[in-house]
Amino acid sequence: MNNSVNSTDIHKVIVAQQKAQDRKKMMVNGVLLLLLLAAPFAFYPVFLMKILCFALFAVAFNLLFGFTGLLSFGHAAFLATGGYTTGYLLSNYSGLTTEMGIIAGTLAATVMGTAFALLSIRRQGIYFAMVTLALAQLVFFFYVQSDFTGGEDGMHGIPRGKLLGVLDLEDNMNMYYFVLAVFIGCYLLVQRIVSSPYGQVLKAIKQNEPRAVSLGYNVDRYKILAFVISAALAGLAGSMKSVVFQLASLNDAHWHMSGEVILMTLVGGMGTLLGPVVGATFVVNVEYQLAQGPLRDWVDPILGGIFVLTVLAFRSGIVGEIQKFMKKNLG
């Protein structure tokens, strides 16, 4: 009797806490939204769009790495596939509106992601990373050899076109708010996925896979779905990027890019929602600032140093460390 009263009370506390957390999340989202809406008046929109595209790429990668526990070393393949598909379609079929090109690019990456997932999902840890890397290298060589990609030169002059045939995307401000809308949509989607019933299962699989199996979960299927969603969003990031810069190049398919997204996620904080966004902003800024100055030949070693420092001293990344600090000092 006494016990059951007690347990209802505890339950009430838990639900109240959930609500408080949701409110906090909403507030953070609201502040960020205001900042992003105002940003193009203070900074160069194309630079901001670059950050948003990479942030989306990192958010997609983190869904798989941070929330499912699978380290893919082949995500560049999806970024490039999205970019090349969109670029090719928009360059060659003038009847297509921009968003159709982008949707097609995303779909192409989704299909490729499904194939990658089916081939790699049964491997674990380093073997999983190696299989995804090998597959991504195959894709890279395909793009090097193909004519339609322009090989080493890349694909230039992709038209931005008109959104829905109406809104002129040649205008940087229009383009920025389009990219921002897509980014916010994807960010909220990932936020939803992580807290959904499916997200709970992913969490469980990440934390103790044998136990999840013994509770009757067919873990491979859950992992495949996470991989496919992650690949789709990475492809979308690549598609957006090719429209923003009107360029799709081999850089996006190179394994360097797969490494860079790992760096962004780790520096920002893996397994946090905001981490990859902060990490992408940080890395893109560091690269940009260094390229301006006398250290321009030292970009890679400096990023490497940051990576080592993060892994050794700030395991949780920028956002993770801040969260820890807040928890410790503010309750």
Partner 1 sequence: MSEPYVLETRNLIKEFKGFVAVNDVNLKIRQGDIHALIGPNGAGKTTVFNLLTKFLIPTRGQILYKGEDITSLKSPAIARKGIIRSFQISAVFPHMTALENIRVALQTAEGTSFSFWKSGTSLNKLNERSMELLESVGLAEYANTITVELAYGRKRALELATTLAMEPELLLLDEPTQGMGSEDVDRVVELVRKAAQGRTVLMVEHNLSVVSKLCDRITVLAQGAVLTEGDYQTVSADPQVREVYMGSDGSGERGVASAEDDNLEAAQ
Task: Give the span between the Cα atoms of 229 and 117, in whole angstroms.
Answer: 11
67 binding partner 1? (CB under 8 A): no
List beta partners, residue 156: 247
Q: Which of the residues 4 through 33 are near partner 1 (CB under 8 A)?
A: 4, 6-8, 10-11, 13-15, 17-18
Which two three-digit tokens encode residue 202? 């992913």
Please identify, among the stretches 96-104, 151-159, 205-213, 285-293, the one whose residues bind partner 1 according to the rule CB under 8 A.
Answer: 205-213
Nearer to partner 1, 17 or 289 (CB): 17
Nearer to partner 1, 6 or 289 (CB): 6
- Number of H-type helices and E-type strands within the chain: 13, 4
Q: Are the C-beta atoms of 257 and 76 separated by less than 8 Å?
A: yes
From the CB of 119, what's the least distance to partner 1, in Å?
20
211 binding partner 1? (CB under 8 A): yes
Q: Are the C-beta atoms of 238 and 83 separated by less than 8 Å?
A: yes
**Residue 162 DSSP code:** E
Q: Which of the residues 235 through 264 are near partner 1 (CB under 8 A)?
A: none
124 binding partner 1? (CB under 8 A): no
216 binding partner 1? (CB under 8 A): yes
Task: Give the span between the Cα atoms of 285 and 297, in whole angstroms.
Answer: 16
User: Which residue among 23, 24, 156, 192 contacts partner 1 (CB under 8 A)?
Assistant: 192
From the CB of 109, what's the least distance to partner 1, in Å?
18
User: Which residue among 204, 286, 290, 306 contacts partner 1 (CB under 8 A)?
Assistant: 204
Nearer to partner 1, 225 or 306 (CB): 225
326 binding partner 1? (CB under 8 A): no
Using the structure block, give the residue that is written with the tokens 């995804």: 132
Q: Are the C-beta atoms of 160 and 175 separated by less than 8 Å?
A: yes
User: Which residue among 124, 146, 196, 285 contacts partner 1 (CB under 8 A)?
Assistant: 196
Task: Give the span between the Cα atoms of 102 and 110, in whole angstroms.
Answer: 12
Count other C-beta atoms under 10 Å from residue 44's C-beta.
Answer: 12
Nearer to partner 1, 18 or 285 (CB): 18
List beta partners, residue 168: 162
Instruction: List all residues 6 or more positions away from 265 whose beta carbon is below 8 Å from its beta carbon.
Output: 58, 61, 62, 65, 66, 275, 276, 279, 317
207 binding partner 1? (CB under 8 A): yes
Instruction: List all residues 6 or more positions away from 145 whose beta carbon is below 8 Å from its beta carbon.
Output: 151
User: Which residue among 126, 188, 215, 311 contacts partner 1 (CB under 8 A)?
Assistant: 215
Using the structure block, give the residue that is written with the tokens 């400096």: 302
List beta partners, residue 248: 155
Nearer to partner 1, 8 or 285 (CB): 8
User: Which residue among 33, 138, 156, 200 contacts partner 1 (CB under 8 A)?
Assistant: 200
From residue 70, give the alpha-carbon distance in Å to each of 102, 104, 125, 197, 255.
27, 26, 7, 19, 17
User: Which residue among 92, 145, 214, 292 contacts partner 1 (CB under 8 A)?
Assistant: 214
Total chain residues near partner 1 (CB under 8 A): 39
User: Which residue among 20, 28, 213, 302 contacts partner 1 (CB under 8 A)?
Assistant: 213
198 binding partner 1? (CB under 8 A): yes
Residues near partner 1 (CB under 8 A) are 3-4, 6-8, 10-11, 13-15, 17-18, 192-193, 195-201, 203-204, 207-208, 210-219, 221-222, 225, 229
